[in-house]
Structure 1
Amino acid sequence: MNGPLIAVTGASGAVGGRVARRLARTGVPVRLLGRDPSRLPELPGAGTAPPAAYGEGDAMRRALDGAHTLFLVSAHESADRVREHTTALDAAVAVGVERIVYVSFLGAAPDATFTFARDHWHTEAHIRVADVRHTFLRDSWYLAALPAMTGADGVLRGPGGDGRVAAVAHEDIADAAAAVLLDEGTAHDGVTYDLTGPEAFTLAEAAEELARRTGRPVRYVPETTEEAYASRASYGAEEWEVAGWVTSYEAIAAGEMATVSDAVPTLTGHRAKSFATYLDENPESYRHLLVGS
């Protein structure tokens, strides 16, 4: 295999796993990282690092030693996620990683409506001041989230108002990430790419698209902020997590998710998937909505 070693985090997940498979198919050196290596995919030519959680500096240094590029998928949401990210990043810089490609979120800002997008901004800020080449991939909402968040009762509810979201497919994110990672030049250095679908639509329009596929009524029920917190109170989640769920919808209502970018077609050479195309290709995503399922 030829080329610099690329370390891929989150390789057991939806984004990292897809990126790892794309890289492995090209024959470039790849090392897969995870807290539990037994959950990592077995890919031809890909190595597996010893167990490493983002917040464990020594373990991350061992896992990243010898890597040229780090593909950093953001950690699972937690109250301590920024510290986990910065610990992993400091470990990467300490062992000589030269390039970081970070999976961020659309509209990342210190005052973003979506609370988790603030975490991404602080992580980006940490990377910017490090002595390392970097690229940020700011994903929009996942297309897969829309059917997943629609209940078996056929209701998608949240305080999204009539705002629009240009949700994006995991496959398109992975294609774009692989294109950036495989380009050994400097064209992507210091660049932030907004990864979105080809169009911004309302949650009511998403419900209509699901209704067409399922042949049953599917509707969007807008909630107030108070109603959103109340309807999620029974989940038993911590306050910071519920706030993330609620504010993700509020970011749509505020117009912060309506951005439509050409980054996916520019990086990949193909059109980004629409919601309709995603549903055509992934009927299992809405199986729970089918009558009699």
Structure 2
Amino acid sequence: MATPSELPELAVAGSTGGLGGMVARQLAASGFAQRLLVRDAARAPQLDGAHAVVCSYGDGAASRQALEGAKVLFMVSAAEAEDRLQQHYAFVDAAAEAGVEHVVYTSFYGAAPDATFTLARDHYATEERIKASGMEYTLLRDNFYLDFLPLMTGDDGVIRGPAGDGVFSGVAREDIARCAHAVLRDPAIHKGMTYNLTGPEELTMAQAAEVLSTGTGREVRYQPETVEEAYASRASYGAPQWQLDAWVSTYTAMAAGEMAGLSPDVHGLTGQDPISLAEFLTRPVL
């Protein structure tokens, strides 16, 4: 078994998930050796040049050991949880203590301390922790995932939420993975950069529902809610308050205009135009 100092200098977190898995596969296809930071080695993807190392974000000691000798870290934000920010802090601190030189972090579009979308505040706080650590950084601020849109449709074909007529510039996870791959291939030229990753179009929820209807053959429509109605319609899920706040504020952030705007960064990083919602619906699942 390799010691940490014998492992690849590129560390990739989240490889058992959708985005991290895409990035790890693209890096392997490009011939990059990588250490895959996973909670369960049995679930790590089997890739050429990849070595699984077990740790979790919240376990600082294990993370420091897993990152010893690593120079560049791709940090996918942790799964949504009440203590996610504390997990992020522990992991960032461990990376700095282990001698990591450069962190590439998947943040959120419009991350700010007063962002309407509650989880965007946590992303901002994580960015600030990384900047204060002394490590170099590159921030990938992802807009709303196009991949999530079909999942927001109820069994009755209705998307409900208080988005009003606000627009979002949703981006496919596939595009985010390509951008991360581009940065990780030559991270030195991306030091200190923040990239806003959007799709090629701004859509209201009503327009998105029309595209979903055409692309899936299933009738989908958007039903605006008030904030009070949104909380009430989600009460039956029994979710904790922080999660309800995150769900509802996804829509209110759109209504506030905080997910609007188009960025050239996907094309600038990958040389390819970002995927539209209509195109996304025709693509095979990766």
TM-score by length of 1: 0.93
Residue 186 (structure 2) pairs with residue 183 (structure 1):
yes
Q: 3-state DSSP class of the match of 1:243?
A: helix
Distance 1:236 1:94 in 2: 39
Task: Show structure 1 runs of 5+ residues with no match.
Answer: 286-293
Instruction: State the match for 2:18 in structure 1.
Output: 14
Q: 3-state DSSP class of the match of 2:281?
A: helix
Percent identity at matched positions? 55
CA RMSD after TM alignment: 1.5
Distance 1:213 1:71 in 2: 33
Residue 43 (structure 2) pairs with residue 39 (structure 1):
yes
Distance 2:52 2:261 in 1: 37
Contact 2:108/2:140, CA 8 A, preserved across alignment: yes
Contact 1:158/1:222, CA 8 A, preserved across alignment: yes
> Which amino acid is 1:31 matched to?
R
> Which amino acid is 1:29 matched to?
A
For 1:101-120, list aligned pairs within 5 A: 101-120=104-123
Structure 1: 4+ residue segments shifted above 3 A = none
> Which amino acid is 2:81 matched to?
S
Distance 2:108 2:44 in 1: 24
Shift of 1:152: 2.3
Shift of 1:4: 6.4
Task: Show structure 2 runs of 5+ residues with no match.
Answer: 1-6
> Which amino acid is 1:28 matched to?
F
Residues 1:115 and 1:184: Cα distance change in structure 2 (over 3 Å)? closer
For 1:256-275, list aligned pairs within 5 A: 256-275=258-277
Residues 1:4 and 1:162: Cα distance change in structure 2 (over 3 Å)? same
Cα-to-partner distance string for 1:25-49 (whole Å, 9 max, x where unaligned): 1112201011122222111110110
Contact 2:216/2:281, CA 8 A, preserved across alignment: no
Q: 3-state DSSP class of the match of 1:103?
A: strand
Instruction: State the match for 1:121 in structure 2.
Output: 124
Instruction: State the match for 1:279 in structure 2.
Output: 281
Instruction: State the match for 1:84 in structure 2.
Output: 87
> Which amino acid is 1:166 matched to?
S
Shift of 1:214: 3.5
TM-score by length of 2: 0.95
